[in-house]
Amino acid sequence: MDRMGHDSVRAAMIYQHATSEAGMAIADALNDRITAARASDEGQDDDGEAGTLVPVA
């Protein structure tokens, strides 16, 4: 058994490939959501609480 817990190098490579594809799918979905959120915020002047002075003790 190798360090990854798989019985063969082939099994380890199949597992790595599958997790790599899943990771890419998650990254792509997050990127799409971030891009959509930025596009919907474009042109809005409301920065929320940005620039608000906060007292320091």
Query: What token pair was written down for 5?
Result: 């817990």
Cα 4 to Cα 13: distance, rounded to the nearest angstrom: 10
Whether residue 12 lies inside any domain: the answer is yes
**Residues 1-57 pLDDT 10s:** 445 566 788 888 888 888 888 899 999 999 999 999 888 877 666 656 667 777 887
Cα 29 to Cα 1: distance, rounded to the nearest angstrom: 35
The residue among 1, 4, 28 whose CA lies nearest residue 15 is 4
Whether residue 51 lies inside any domain: the answer is no
The residue among 15, 13, 12 whose CA lies nearest residue 1 is 12
Whether residue 54 lies inside any domain: the answer is no
pTM: 0.51
**Domain interval for residue 20:** 1-41
Split into its structural domains, the chain has a count of: 1
